[in-house]
């Protein structure tokens, strides 16, 4: 394995800087900003261990809630916090510890009564504890194939940290790529990067500032479009959403105030109204909601969690006290466990409640980051900042948009899920129950769209007032089984059948204003629907045996409008199908011929 070689001047300069502090901050230490241009020149001109050309092909960057085989930490300062991370994480995955002396780490863990099983040690030198910022990121070819690690230029002059991703890739036995060669010499940092696992990533505008013309690192100047292209080439990003800088978050890392919980849910740190960074955070969220939808084509769901003042009541940016940026969003997924920073009991209990509501079935582990011996938050970082994940080499990827509460009491509740494995999916199952004290009932799921890897199952409609809990499972051709949520059956998705506010109103006999057209159909077909009142229902298509082929719409049909719903019948077998509109007030049908 090639090792990175630096000029003597850079090494001596860096060594001097590092000797000035017990622990380097997540931000710049004194003198580091000035050292960056020379440092970047060295790392971009030396022979690197990583591959500097793009991987090629279709790429997908892993989301944090996906299955992982490794959690990486660097053992330096704050051993009490690191030991608690090891204690919780080793039950879920292998913990890799970068350290100078593995024996001293083992002794510390043993003294804390933490078993050493499922813990591995990489005896490599380091400069700082901030793993999130300098570690490599898991990327897959063809969504679920060929795992690799991608590393950016670290935005601090810390050569030992910058070399660590090379060791991690070797430990996992995967190819190692780096954005180090011009014109793709990209500076970036892991604390300012979150991805949904399907091509959308979030960042602050720091990514633009660090690579723009006149940037402080002397990397090739890049426009936003050029940055986006590099991230597409190396990580498969299709959308790179960038938000305005926060005035009082000096490091400008989004993990200090937001957390992606799943493909459509964003957890946001909330300040009191008009306090500290609250106004800018709210402006950023409005920008996202006004301009972008989730991968499901629906608006992002925003959940707020309180930010924490100092014990004296001060907030970041206030003139007295210079309060630390106490955040609950700086958390990390470790398979079925979520670890988050805690501060004071009166606030921690609220955070625990919010996380448990968002992540039923997960083990929620708080770790004190704000008291004597564990005050890591004073250095502008916490749990997410000092950890990083390595995905599994053989992922079975499942994605599903949870069903919402409904008024529907007839027909079926259709569950669609993306399921993909490199060997193919051999079988898929939908599990549901209306009573968590009783066993789940199972329903086979069938492949309904090979191009989008969509599998579909149906839950029979239930009476109003019923709550349904459900999850899905898939088994690959090679024999691997995965569930989603990953904690199922202890965790699940749930929705409720609501009482229809229109109950008792006469059902409009002319609810199908006119026939579907064209009819007979061979491609896209329009189904017009018009009602006298707002109507809650589901519009779906069945085959000649009464089996649901697809759902065209589920929700509220507005009154007095020429509502039009569309379906593409391309690929359906020729024959006679039935369009069905089910509501609390009755059922309407009409025939559709597919040729």
Domain region containing 561: 524-594
Q: Check whether residue 428 and residue 333 sit in a common domain.
A: no
The percentage of residues in the chain with a pLDDT greater than 70, rounded to a whole number, is 91
CATH number of the CATH domain containing 100: 3.75.10.10
Is the distance from CB of 187 to CB of 219 less than 8 angstroms? yes
CATH number of the CATH domain containing 537: 2.60.40.1930
Q: What count of Cα atoms within 13 Å lies in the side-chain half-sphere of residue 373?
A: 6
Number of domains in the chain: 3
Token digits of residue 251: 């490091």
Is the distance from CB of 227 to CB of 265 less than 8 angstroms? no
Pairing of strands 194-195, 176-178: unpaired
Q: Cis ω on the peptide bond leading into residue 485 (within 30° of 0)?
A: yes
Q: What Å distances lie between residue 112 and 82, 86, 105, 123, 338, CA to CA?
A: 11, 11, 11, 21, 21
Between vectors from CA 485 to CA 482 and to CA 489, what angle results, nearest 5°? 85
Q: What is the DSSP string of 443-460?
A: EEEEEEEGGGTEEEEEEE
Q: Check whether residue 47 and residue 131 sit in a common domain.
A: yes
Would you state the pLDDT for residue 22?
54
| Sequence-distant (≥ 6) Cβ neighbours of residue 15 within 8 angstroms | none
Q: 221 versus 507: which is more confidently predicted?
A: 221
Mean pLDDT within 342-366? 97
Pairing of strands 481-484, 575-583: unpaired
Mean pLDDT within 369-387? 92
Residue 144 confidence (pLDDT) above 60: yes
Domain termination residue (choose one: 391, 407, 440): 391
Q: What count of Cα atoms within 13 Å lies in the side-chain half-sphere of residue 308?
A: 25
Which range of 42-51, 90-99, 209-218 scores highest in mean pLDDT? It is: 90-99
Is the distance from CB of 442 to CB of 431 less than 8 angstroms? yes
Q: Check whether residue 83 and residue 224 sit in a common domain.
A: yes
588 DSSP β-pair partners: 581
Is the distance from CB of 227 to CB of 208 less than 8 angstroms? yes
Instruction: Identify the weakest region by mean pLDDT among 155-169, 233-247, 428-442, 580-594.
Output: 580-594
Give which of 306, 488, 335 is closest to 402, Cα–Cα: 488
Q: Check whether residue 119 and residue 179 sit in a common domain.
A: yes
Q: Is 577 inside any structural domain?
A: yes
Report the chain's mean pLDDT, rounded to a whole number.
Answer: 90
Q: Is 85 helix (H, G, I), strand (E, B) or coil?
A: helix
Read off the pLDDT band of 12 (50, 70, 90). Answer: very low
Residue 46 confidence (pLDDT) above 80: no
455 DSSP β-pair partners: 417, 447
Read off the pLDDT band of 410 (50, 70, 90). Answer: confident
Residue 102 confidence (pLDDT) above 70: yes
Token digits of residue 139: 């990327």
Using CB atoms within 10 Å of the CB of residue 377, give its burial: 0 to 12 exposed, 13 to 18 middle, 19+ buried.
Answer: buried
Q: Is 69 helix (H, G, I), strand (E, B) or coil?
A: strand
Q: Check whether residue 375 and residue 420 sit in a common domain.
A: no
Q: Check whether residue 45 and residue 99 sit in a common domain.
A: yes
Give which of 67, 40, 10, 59 is closest to 177, Cα–Cα: 59
Would you state the pLDDT for residue 14?
40
Q: Check whether residue 310 and residue 224 sit in a common domain.
A: yes
Q: Is 374 helix (H, G, I), strand (E, B) or coil?
A: coil
Domain termination residue (choose one: 370, 391, 412): 391
Q: Check whether residue 234 and residue 336 sit in a common domain.
A: yes
Would you state the pLDDT for residue 151?
97
Q: Check whether residue 225 and residue 337 sit in a common domain.
A: yes
Would you state the pLDDT for residue 512?
64
Instruction: Identify the weakest region by mean pLDDT among 347-356, 490-499, 573-582.
Output: 573-582
Is the distance from CB of 521 to CB of 513 less than 8 angstroms? no
What is the spatial distance between Cα 558 and Cα 529, in angstroms, rounded to a whole number?
10
Would you state the pLDDT for residue 20?
34
What is the spatial distance between Cα 513 and Cα 535, in angstroms, rounded to a whole number?
14
Q: What is the pLDDT of residues 107-135, one digit of tens each?
A: 999 999 999 999 999 999 999 999 999 99
Q: Is 501 inside any structural domain?
A: no
Read off the pLDDT band of 322 (50, 70, 90). Answer: low
Read off the pLDDT band of 584 (50, 70, 90). Answer: low
Would you state the pLDDT for residue 527?
87
Residue 501 confidence (pLDDT) above 80: no
Read off the pLDDT band of 33 (50, 70, 90). Answer: confident
Domain termination residue (choose one: 357, 375, 391): 391
Q: Check whether residue 98 and residue 222 sit in a common domain.
A: yes
Q: 458 versus 584: which is more confidently predicted?
A: 458
Token digits of residue 68: 């992982």
Would you state the pLDDT for residue 21?
39
Mean pLDDT within 188-206? 97
Would you state the pLDDT for residue 48?
65
What is the spatial distance between Cα 310 and Cα 279, in angstroms, rounded to a whole number?
19
Q: What is the DSSP string of 200-263?
A: EEEEETHHHHTTSTT-TT-PPP--HHHHHHHHHHHH--SEEEEEPPPSS-TT--GGGTEEE-SS
CATH number of the CATH domain containing 486: 2.60.40.10
What is the spatial distance between Cα 337 and Cα 95, in angstroms, rounded to a whole number?
14
Is the distance from CB of 350 to CB of 128 less than 8 angstroms? no
For the chain, the distance separating the N- and C-terminal CA atoms, rounded to the nearest angstrom, is 61
Q: Is 268 inside any structural domain?
A: yes
pTM: 0.83
Q: Check whether residue 102 and residue 237 sit in a common domain.
A: yes
Would you state the pLDDT for residue 583?
77
Q: What is the pLDDT of residues 207-260, one digit of tens each?
A: 999 999 999 888 999 999 999 999 999 999 999 999 999 999 989 999 999 999
Residue 3 confidence (pLDDT) above 50: no
Q: What is the pLDDT of residues 514-557, one digit of tens each?
A: 688 898 988 888 888 877 777 778 888 988 877 888 888 888 88
Q: 329 versus 555: which is more confidently predicted?
A: 329
Q: How far is CA 140 from the centre of its chain?
A: 15
The percentage of residues in the chain with a pLDDT greater than 90, rounded to a whole number, is 70
Is the distance from CB of 383 to CB of 85 less than 8 angstroms? yes
Q: Check whether residue 364 and residue 276 sit in a common domain.
A: yes
């Amino acid at each position: 394995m090639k090792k990175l070689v630096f000029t003597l001047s850079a090494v001596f300069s860096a060594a001097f800087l590092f000797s000035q502090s017990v622990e380097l901050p997540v931000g710049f230490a004194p003198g580091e900003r000035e050292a960056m241009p020379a440092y970047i020149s060295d790392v971009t001109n030396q022979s690197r261990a990583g591959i500097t050309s793009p991987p090629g092909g279709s790429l997908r960057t892993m989301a944090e809630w996906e299955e992982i085989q490794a959690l990486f930490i660097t053992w330096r300062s704050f051993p009490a916090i690191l030991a608690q991370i090891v204690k919780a994480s080793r039950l879920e995955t292998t913990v890799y510890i970068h350290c100078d002396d593995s024996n001293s780490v083992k002794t510390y863990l043993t003294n804390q009564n933490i078993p050493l099983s499922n813990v591995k040690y990489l005896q490599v030198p380091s400069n700082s504890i901030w793993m999130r910022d300098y570690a490599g990121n898991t990327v897959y070819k063809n969504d679920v194939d060929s795992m690799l690690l991608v590393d950016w230029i670290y935005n601090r002059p810390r050569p030992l940290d910058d070399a660590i991703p090379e060791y991690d890739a070797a430990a996992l036995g995967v190819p190692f790529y780096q954005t180090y060669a011009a014109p793709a010499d990209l500076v970036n940092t892991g604390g300012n990067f979150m991805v949904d696992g399907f091509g959308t990533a979030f960042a602050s505008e720091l990514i633009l500032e660090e690579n723009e013309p006149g940037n402080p690192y002397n990397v090739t100047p890049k426009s936003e479009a050029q940055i986006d292209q590099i991230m597409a080439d190396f990580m498969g990003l299709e959308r790179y959403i960038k938000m305005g800088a926060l005035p009082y978050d000096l490091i400008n890392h989004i993990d200090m105030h937001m957390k992606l919980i799943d493909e459509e849910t964003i957890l946001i740190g909330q300040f009191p109204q008009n306090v500290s960074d609250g106004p800018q955070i709210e402006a950023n969220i409005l920008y996202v909601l006004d301009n972008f939808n989730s991968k499901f084509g629906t608006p992002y769901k925003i959940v707020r969690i309180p930010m924490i003042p100092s014990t004296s009541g001060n907030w970041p940016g206030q003139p007295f006290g210079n309060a630390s940026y106490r955040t609950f969003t700086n958390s990390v997924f470790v398979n079925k466990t979520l670890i988050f920073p805690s501060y004071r009991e009166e606030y921690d209990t609220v955070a625990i409640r919010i996380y448990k509501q968002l992540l039923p079935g997960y083990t929620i582990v708080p770790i004190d980051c704000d008291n004597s011996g564990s005050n890591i938050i004073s250095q502008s970082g916490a749990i997410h900042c000092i950890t990083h994940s390595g995905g599994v080499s053989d992922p079975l990827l499942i994605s599903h948009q949870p069903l919402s509460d409904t008024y529907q009491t007839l027909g079926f509740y259709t569950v669609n899920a993306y399921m993909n494995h490199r060997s193919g999916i051999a079988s898929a199952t939908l599990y549901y129950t209306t009573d968590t004290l009783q066993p789940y009932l199972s329903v086979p799921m069938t492949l309904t769209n090979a191009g989008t890897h969509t599998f579909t199952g149906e839950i029979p409609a239930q009476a109003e007032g019923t709550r349904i809990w459900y999850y899905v499972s898939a088994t690959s051709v090679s024999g691997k089984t995965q569930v989603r949520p990953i904690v199922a059956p202890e965790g699940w998705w749930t929705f409720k059948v609501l009482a229809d506010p229109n109950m008792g109103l006469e059902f409009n006999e002319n609810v199908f204003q006119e026939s579907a057209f064209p009819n007979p159909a061979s491609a896209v077909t329009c189904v017009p629907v018009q009602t006298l009142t707002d109507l809650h229902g589901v519009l779906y298509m069945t085959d000649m045996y009464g089996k649901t082929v697809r759902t065209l719409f589920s929700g509220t049909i507005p009154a007095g409008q020429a509502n039009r719903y569309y379906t593409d019948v391309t690929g359906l077998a020729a024959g006679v199908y039935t369009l069905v509109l089910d509501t609390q007030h009755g059922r309407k049908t009409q025939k559709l011929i597919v040729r």
